[in-house]
Structure 1
């Protein structure tokens, strides 16, 4: 972790703030590296965070078995991994009303019609979940009043430039340097 600031005490304070927020949100083990730049003279805050690799997305067919019975016009879904049941129900309730989802027991869900296309429905996306948690941390870390934010995130790096004025090209260049250094492991 590198916190750059022209004021040494300011850098120490922001390092403590960042560590505390990461601890509160249990993000320490999910982040490879972090670079921040704070300048009290120019109201700017630059933060670039490299995420660790996550597991791949989980599709519905990865955690359940589907059966369509044409005579009854019902698709039965047997949940093989109960850990994903809350995510499954949340996704299905967004697509159908709760009345359309029949759950006779903990492991079985029945839906009218041929719903075999649901097999490819994404149930869990660990990378997206991690990104969401990192953005939550960033918005807690940013100084209050810094409402002008430029998101410069790339594939595995979440990066923002924030200010309460117009964003200067030099700040964007500095963020790009941080992104490049994190991508190259520097």
Structure 2
């Protein structure tokens, strides 16, 4: 993972690089983060963070990634595509609550008091979960007090501008420039 810092900070932004690296490394999506770029302008004051991720899986119906069988207690999912396992578990927890969902093995999920029909049409959208995670990661990296925020999102890039002052038009232009530049980088 490549991390860069530009702006009015000492020692090449080493502190911010270390904070970003540690926070991302300890996240569920650390293997998906390809690049992080931060721009810090202390006198303004603004902080921009842009995170680029590797290819994100496309939305898919649960029936495409898991076999669903009815049981006495509800139903059981046998996961065929392990790459979706964590997204599937998160989606089920969000929809039905953790008390009804168990994962006895890596590729098996049991659902208590949930009918097979409730799961068959459910669609997993990994990009939504990744966006939520990127947002949370960014908030952990952004300095305290920078509560005024704007963001941009494209398929592989998520960029946030944060400040403690009212938003200015020229800052929004910088946000757009950083986001566009990160989108073009290979």
Partner of 1:181: 181
Question: Hey, what's the Cα distance between the residues in 1 that align with 2:57 and 2:122?
Answer: 17
Aligned partners of 1:48 and 1:175 also within 8 Å: no
Aligned partners of 1:66 and 1:119 also within 8 Å: no
Are the structure 2 counterparts of residues 153 and 92 from structure 1 closer, same or farther at C-alpha, using a change threshold of 3 Å? closer
Deviates most, 129-138 or 23-32: 23-32
Are the structure 2 counterparts of residues 27 and 79 from structure 1 closer, same or farther at C-alpha, using a change threshold of 3 Å? closer
Post-superposition offset of 1:79: 2.4
- Partner of 2:153: helix, strand, or coil? coil
Q: Structure 2 unaligned segments of length 5 or more: list them.
A: 102-107
User: Size of the alignment, in residue pairs?
Assistant: 169
Matches of residues 31-180 of structure 1 in structure 2 within 5 Å?
A: 31-62=33-64, 63-65=66-68, 77=75, 79-81=77-79, 86-87=89-90, 90=93, 93=96, 116=117, 118-122=119-123, 124-180=124-180
CA shift digits 1:46-72 (9 cap, x unpaired)? 1111111122334232213468xxxxx
Aligned partners of 2:46 and 2:162 also within 8 Å: yes
Partner of 1:22: 24
Deviates most, 130-139 or 57-66: 57-66
Post-superposition offset of 1:12: 2.3
TM-score (norm 2): 0.72
TM-score (norm 1): 0.72
- Partner of 1:4: helix, strand, or coil? strand
CA shift digits 1:61-107 (9 cap, x unpaired)? 2213468xxxxxx9x7552329758457535636xx96xx9xxxx87
Aligned partners of 1:17 and 1:141 also within 8 Å: yes
Choose 1 or 2 for highest CA Rg: 1
Post-superposition offset of 1:139: 0.6
Are the structure 2 counterparts of residues 185 and 145 from structure 1 closer, same or farther at C-alpha, using a change threshold of 3 Å? same
Are the structure 2 counterparts of residues 163 and 80 from structure 1 closer, same or farther at C-alpha, using a change threshold of 3 Å? same
RMSD: 3.4
